[in-house]
């Protein structure tokens, strides 16, 4: 290239090599056993930097978001608890969805969330309600009630799982007026948050959303 003589000591990574490395790292980030990796956050930071390399980063962001949407769509259909699901991995895919959106320039994030009548925002909402339905089924399960240690573990995970899901929904719906949560959706959420802790989390979610809409005084 024109700069070859002046930058001969600088290693240039081809788009093909970047794509191969990113594909491999994404498979690591989405692997069921990735939670045990001590370097997980460092890997995410590296992937974020790579996703912001333009113009090829735009393609990768859309590809990875598509991967997230596929998993969210599958999980949003699992509402009875009868279908096997790895709840830790399900939560991680929700978090990775936000991770990819936050790697986007704001304009692209808005387009990705609001395209097709805000289908991604609606999908995130459906995934949340499916999770809450599965949670209700598990609480009603006599087998689970007998396992005190499992209940404690499930409760601890649930607090994080609910707050993270509400967090990304507020982020998605807050990106643009074209993604608007209806009163019917809020009523549905309220009905699914049957225990006091869940309703408290939902009240915090609503208060934060209201504050964001009002903006600074």
Give tens-digit pLDDT for 134-160.
888 877 775 644 443 444 455 668 888
pLDDT of residue 82: 63
Dist. CA 36–CA 34, nearest whole Å: 5
Task: Read off the pLDDT of residues 73-107 as tens digits, 9 standing for 90 and up.
Answer: 999 998 876 667 888 899 999 999 999 999 999 99
Indicate the pTM of the whole model. 0.80
pLDDT of residue 214: 44
Dist. CA 192–CA 162, nearest whole Å: 12
At 182, list the tokens: 């209806």
Asked which of 39-43, 139-143, 178-182 is least confident by mean pLDDT, the reply is 139-143
pLDDT of residue 62: 93
Using an 8 Å Cβ cutoff, are 75 and 90 in contact?
A: yes
Q: Per-residue pLDDT averaged across 16-37, rounded?
A: 88
pLDDT of residue 216: 41
Asked which of 143-152, 164-173, 174-183, 203-212 is least confident by mean pLDDT, the reply is 143-152
Q: Is the pLDDT of residue 6 over 60?
A: no
User: What's the sign of the alpha-carbon dihedral 88, 89, 94, 100?
Assistant: positive
% of the chain beyond a pLDDT of 70: 82
Q: Is the pLDDT of residue 10 over 80?
A: no
């Amino acid at each position: 290239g024109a700069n070859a003589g002046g930058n001969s000591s600088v290693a240039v990574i081809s788009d093909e090599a970047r794509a191969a490395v990113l594909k491999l790292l994404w498979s690591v980030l989405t692997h069921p056993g990735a939670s045990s990796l001590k370097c997980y956050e460092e890997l995410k930071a590296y992937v974020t930097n790579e996703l912001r390399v333009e113009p090829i980063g735009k393609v990768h962001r859309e590809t990875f978001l598509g991967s997230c949407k596929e998993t969210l769509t599958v999980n949003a259909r699992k509402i009875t608890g009868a279908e096997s699901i790895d709840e830790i991995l399900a939560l991680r895919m929700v978090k990775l969805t936000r991770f990819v959106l936050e790697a986007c320039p704001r304009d692209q994030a808005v387009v990705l969330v609001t395209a097709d009548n805000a289908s991604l925002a609606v999908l995130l909402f459906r995934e949340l309600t499916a999770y809450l339905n599965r949670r209700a089924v598990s609480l009603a399960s006599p087998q689970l009630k007998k396992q005190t240690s499992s209940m404690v573990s499930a409760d601890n995970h649930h607090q994080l799982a609910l707050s993270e899901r509400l967090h990304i929904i507020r982020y998605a719906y807050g990106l643009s007026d074209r993604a608007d949560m209806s009163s019917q959706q809020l009523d549905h959420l309220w009905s699914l948050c049957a225990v006091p802790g869940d309703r408290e989390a939902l009240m915090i979610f609503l208060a934060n959303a209201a504050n964001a809409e009002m903006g600074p005084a």
